[in-house]
Structure 1
């Protein structure tokens, strides 16, 4: 059996706010399906959906998105302006570089090159 990824779903406190952050980062129009479910279809990527849950995030994500960019420093600066936070310093090695980030609700993602 083979499956197809339909969407990636983030648990969150405020789906409407979080979908707008990710739509700003990746493109696409945010859609609020209901007060507890929003999604965006970024160009060239699978749908990202955001569902409201009562509990807050308490530990590191077991899965995160790596987003390829030309310059992770510039991308991080723009994401911080939109509500994200840097986690640590830029990491560089012979394979490229990456900057770990948190979205406005603390979900980890990385800007990567290489």
Structure 2
């Protein structure tokens, strides 16, 4: 059973746009700054996006990098993944980018299920 597909890799960063510029240089593509402080590397359609979210913390206590898995229905996908061994961290959150649910893999690593709004 497939629950979803990789939507993006998300890196916590003190300076998101600085990292987007660096990785755009390394991987190709264009760095894009979002008004909410996030930045990403715009690349080829169909490839997972590389995004950088603002996080001024030192990177201890939670993942510095996590995967976002695109799904069609957050509730259904979360239930399926939890049945497969994941744990939930909080409930679904909706913002300008869509709805996401933070989950933990069997070793406690964070990942998100995302039901994006139109980008």
TM-score, scaled relative to structure 1: 0.49
TM-score, scaled relative to structure 2: 0.47
